[in-house]
């Protein structure tokens, strides 16, 4: 490891020791770039071109949504979020204040979805576009974009596409399960109601028969007494 007291002019510039500079780069890149920035500022060396930055090409990659953001968009449609945040009033059905009191869990879900849909906070203004290099990003199909709450022509990596497909499948399975449970519950309630009605009808018939029998016995008693 090089001596931390080594002056910058021995690492960079016309008479620099390239071996020492390479050693610093290999052992402590943050320190290397810090010193490089200092000598550029002092005018000992020319600034490095922007394309020499290893992260330069990343600025041209399409912005990626996190898995949680995609999941929220797939779970809560934009229209539902807008019904709470866009043009609602105190008397509206979809009122955030009322929802926060009556169903705090759903309130948190709607608020998270509003952030995921970029309803809150406002999206920052994009920077001026720059020439984009060729990339390996793929465009997600319209059907998958609609299912996951993504903008049409959304681009992502192969890994991102796998995540989108997995989230869509999980959300669809969860909705299907919820619908099946609701249908089963409704059928059970209907059967229980039918059984209750049948039992009640049987009870009414039984009571009528008892009444008829009692009247018959009473008439027979009157005939015998006469």
Q: Are 155 and 140 in contact (CB under 8 A)?
A: yes
- With the CA atoms of 196, 201, 207 and 209 taken in that order, what torsion angle do they form, in degrees rounded to the nearest 10? -140
pLDDT in tens, 104-157: 999 999 999 999 998 988 444 345 556 666 668 899 999 999 999 999 999 999
Element (H, E) at 31: helix 29-42
Q: How many CB atoms lie within 10 A of CB 57?
A: 12
Cα angle 107, 178, 93 (rounded to 5 degrees) comes to: 35
pLDDT in tens, 6-49: 787 777 777 788 888 888 878 888 888 888 888 888 877 777 76
């Amino acid at each position: 490891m090089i001596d931390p007291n080594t002056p910058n002019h021995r690492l960079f510039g016309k008479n620099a020791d390239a071996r020492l500079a390479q050693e610093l780069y290999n052992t402590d890149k943050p320190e290397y770039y810090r010193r490089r920035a200092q000598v550029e500022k002092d005018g000992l060396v020319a600034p490095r071109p922007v394309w020499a930055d290893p992260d330069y090409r990343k600025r041209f990659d399409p912005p990626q949504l996190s898995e949680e953001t995609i999941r929220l968009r797939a779970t809560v449609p934009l229209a539902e979020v807008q019904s709470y945040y866009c043009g609602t009033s105190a008397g509206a059905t979809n009122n955030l204040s009322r929802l926060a009191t009556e169903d705090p869990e759903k309130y948190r879900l709607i608020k998270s979805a509003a952030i995921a849909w970029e309803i809150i906070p406002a999206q920052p203004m994009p920077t001026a576009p720059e020439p984009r290099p060729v990339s390996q990003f793929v465009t997600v199909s319209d059907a998958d974009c609609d299912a996951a709450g993504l903008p049409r022509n959304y681009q992502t990596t192969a890994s991102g596409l796998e995540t989108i497909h997995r989230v869509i499948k999980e959300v669809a399975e969860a909705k299907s399960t919820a619908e099946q449970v609701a249908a089963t519950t409704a059928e059970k309630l209907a059967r229980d109601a039918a059984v209750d009605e049948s039992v009640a009808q049987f009870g009414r018939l039984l009571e009528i028969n008892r009444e008829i029998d009692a009247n018959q016995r009473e008439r027979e008693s009157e005939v015998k007494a006469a």
